[in-house]
Structure 1
Amino acid sequence: MTGQRRGTAIAMTDDERDTFLRTQPVCRVATVGPGGHPHASALWFVWDGTALWLNSLVRSQRWTDLVRDPRLSVIVDEGGADFLGLRGVELRCSAEVVGEAPRKGEPLDELRGPERLFADKYAGGGDFRYDGRHGWLRLSVEKVASWDFAKLRPTR
């Protein structure tokens, strides 16, 4: 994963970025659609410290796009009431289907972590629920950029 070259004054530290990605509820995913046209959608996600995991409908434009072309960009951001409240992370990634699609619960060690993180984050703990319509995508991060404009506040 490569870091950002510009904007280092507002870049999040690795710990700040990891905390931000673990706690934010929604990401925006941009895929390469038919004919090269972009397709953007929002969905829940989990961050395991090295990869972003998406639990996506397998009968969606996003899934179709990523099976055809695994390149994508993801934005996780938080708006503030003013410019200095803006924070976010942009990730350039490649996607890989992990496990059965759609997922019906076949035991798979590789998905224990993401499914536990997902259940903890969105269902308050317990077991991950399989609905037979979603599958898992592991996003390998190739480039990351982050911003926290609060870092521009003058210190006294």
Structure 2
Amino acid sequence: MEGTPRGAGTQRRGRRIMMTGHELDAFLAEQRTCRVATVDQDGRPHVSPLWFAWDGTSLWLYSLTRSRRWADLRRDPRLAVVVDDGHDYGELRGAELSGTAVFVGEAPRTGEPCPELDAMERLFAVKYFGIDTLPHDGRHAWLRLTPDAVASWDFRKMAAPDA
């Protein structure tokens, strides 16, 4: 439904401050850092910051393949990601996306042709490096999260009389 965030049906509380689909897309496109939560082999959570790109449907994460996060996701691909912004309480906004990670392309990524990654690598290169082609260092690889659930908030809406 136009203007309704994907996965919004899972958000029971805070509908007044929930982002619309358009707001969520704009927010995720402009933010630079997310926090990725995984679970280790003993069931302990692990949270780490990571750069990402949003394509309107999926969150793309460019992760070190020799990281704890990568090892956790190889064992258990479930993850949650939080992207947030704001300084004062009334400015806070963000989104939590959760689902299953999908590994895309070679790991680690060395630049072998992968049509599924062409647009995303271009988007990522422009967003973070201001260039058109993503340099491959042989240490990172791609994860895609197409969220099963999305919860969002924008506390700026609390001040609006017709929110």
TM-score by length of 1: 0.96
Sequence identity, in percent? Answer: 58
What secondary structure is seen at the aligned counterpart in 1 of 2:116? helix
The runs of 5 or more residues in structure 2 that have no matched partner are 1-5
One-letter code aligned to 1:2: G
Determine the structure 2 residue equivalent to 1:16: 23
Determine the structure 2 residue equivalent to 1:75: 82
Mapped to 2, the partners of 1:2 and 1:133 lie a distance apart of 33
Q: 2:155 aligns with which of 149, 153, 156?
A: 149
Determine the structure 2 residue equivalent to 1:60: 67
Question: What RMSD in Å do the two structures reach over aligned CA positions?
Answer: 1.2
CA shift digits 1:95-135 (9 cap, x unpaired):
01111000000111100111011001001132111000001
- Contact 2:41 2:75 (C-alpha < 8 Å) held by counterparts: no
Kindly tell me the number of residue pairs found equivalent between the two proteins: 155
Aligned: 1:96 with 2:66: no
Mapped to 1, the partners of 2:139 and 2:7 lie a distance apart of 34
Task: Report the CA distance between 1:93 and its aligned residue.
Answer: 1.8
Moved over 6 A (4+): none
Instruction: Say if 1:154 and 1:109 are closer, same or farther in 2 by CA, change over 3 A.
Output: closer
- Contact 2:28 2:54 (C-alpha < 8 Å) held by counterparts: yes
Determine the structure 2 residue equivalent to 1:50: 57
The runs of 5 or more residues in structure 1 that have no matched partner are none
Task: Report the CA distance between 1:2 and its aligned residue.
Answer: 2.3
Determine the structure 1 residue equivalent to 2:3: none
Task: Report the CA distance between 1:154 and its aligned residue.
Answer: 4.3
Q: 1:29 aligns with which of 31, 36, 39?
A: 36
Determine the structure 2 residue equivalent to 1:106: 112
- Contact 2:85 2:94 (C-alpha < 8 Å) held by counterparts: yes
